[in-house]
Structure formats: structure tokens, C-alpha cells
């Protein structure tokens, strides 16, 4: 199976997260992943979390990349990558029930089939996650996520 790689530059502004979500939905549709499919909802949520982390925690621009099956197919892996200029490792936090922040990586861990990060030779880092198209449950809100995390379809 061939893979289509698409990417966008993300500015260092939290408002860019919404633009990234819209961009991702349109690119997923081109690959035959419709907006109402659970995998699309899951991917857009993962993108939202990773882009938010990059923009908020680094204060620098980032690059969002998706690697997609290049033809509509009922299965296959979608990979999301976010590159930023900070070499600081992602820091998963243990948010308390009333905390309004600190759950992003817990969501990524609970929703993605695989995720990780790596330092880049340019001095920054890449955080990535993968979702196997056939593995997403009928509703993103049914996914197993850590206690205290509420998943909303976006």
C-alpha cells in the first residue's frame, strides 16, 4: 500500500489548533475517511492535542504531518507527526479531577494504537502517533482513556 504524506505549517498561536483540525478533516476526506467515521473523530482529537501541546508548551511554530493511505481503503494505518523546535521531552502529567489542563498525552496514550517521540537532528523533536483504521471502536467516546479524562467528538 502506498502512503500519501501531507503537511502544514502551524503558527505559534493557539488559534492555529482550530485551523489544524479543519485542515486534517479535509485531508482525511480526500483519502476516503469521512468526517463522521469514528477513526476521523479520533484522529482529529489526537491532532488537536498534539498541536496544542506543541504551540502552548514551546511558543514556537510547528509542522503537522499526516501519512495516509493514498487510496480509499477500509483498513490501514494513519500516522500523525508534529515537529517543533523544542528539544524538551514531552512530559505526561497526572492531572487531578478538577484540573483544566494536563490530560493531552493521556488522551494520546488512550486513543492511539502507538505513540512516541524522538529528537530531531535539527535540535527539535517529533511527537507521533498511529491509529490503525480498523481498530477504532464505533464511537471515539467509548475508547479506553485514563480516569478523569472526558473524550468529546470534535
Q: Is the pLDDT of residue 119 over 90?
A: yes
Q: What is the mean pLDDT of residues 98-111?
A: 77
Q: Is the pLDDT of residue 37 over 70?
A: yes
Q: In 3-state terms, what secondary structure has residue 32?
A: coil
Q: What is the mean pLDDT of residues 100-109?
A: 78
Pairwise pLDDT comparison (10 vs 99), residue with the higher score: 10
Cα atoms found within 13 Å of the Cα of residue 2, Cβ hemisphere only: 6
Domain 3-142 CATH class label: alpha beta
Q: What is the mean pLDDT of residues 108-132?
A: 93
Condensed to tens digits (0 to 9), the pLDDT of residues 75-97 reads 789 999 999 999 888 877 776 66
Report, in this order, helix, strand and coil percent for the chain, each rounded to 5.
Answer: 30, 25, 45
Cβ(96)–Cβ(147) below 8 Å: no
Whole-angstrom distance, CA of residue 93 vs CA of residue 91? 6
Whole-angstrom distance, CA of residue 53 vs CA of residue 105? 9
Determine what percent of the chain is predicted with pLDDT higher than 70. Answer: 77
Amino acid at each position: 500500500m502506498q502512503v500519501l504524506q501531507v503537511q502544514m505549517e502551524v503558527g505559534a498561536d493557539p488559534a492555529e489548533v482550530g485551523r489544524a483540525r479543519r485542515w486534517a478533516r479535509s485531508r482525511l476526506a480526500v483519502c476516503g475517511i469521512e468526517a463522521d467515521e469514528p477513526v476521523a473523530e479520533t484522529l482529529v482529537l489526537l491532532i488537536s492535542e498534539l498541536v496544542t501541546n506543541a504551540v502552548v508548551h514551546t511558543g514556537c511554530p510547528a509542522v503537522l504531518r499526516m501519512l495516509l493511505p493514498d487510496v480509499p481503503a477500509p483498513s490501514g494505518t494513519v500516522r500523525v507527526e508534529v515537529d517543533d523546535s523544542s528539544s524538551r521531552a514531552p512530559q505526561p502529567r497526572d492531572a487531578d479531577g478538577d484540573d483544566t489542563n494536563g490530560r493531552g498525552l493521556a488522551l494520546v496514550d488512550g486513543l492511539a494504537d502507538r505513540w512516541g517521540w524522538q529528537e530531531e537532528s535539527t535540535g527539535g523533536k517529533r511527537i507521533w502517533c498511529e491509529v490503525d483504521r480498523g481498530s477504532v471502536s464505533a464511537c471515539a467516546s467509548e475508547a479506553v482513556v485514563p480516569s478523569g479524562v472526558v473524550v468529546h467528538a470534535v
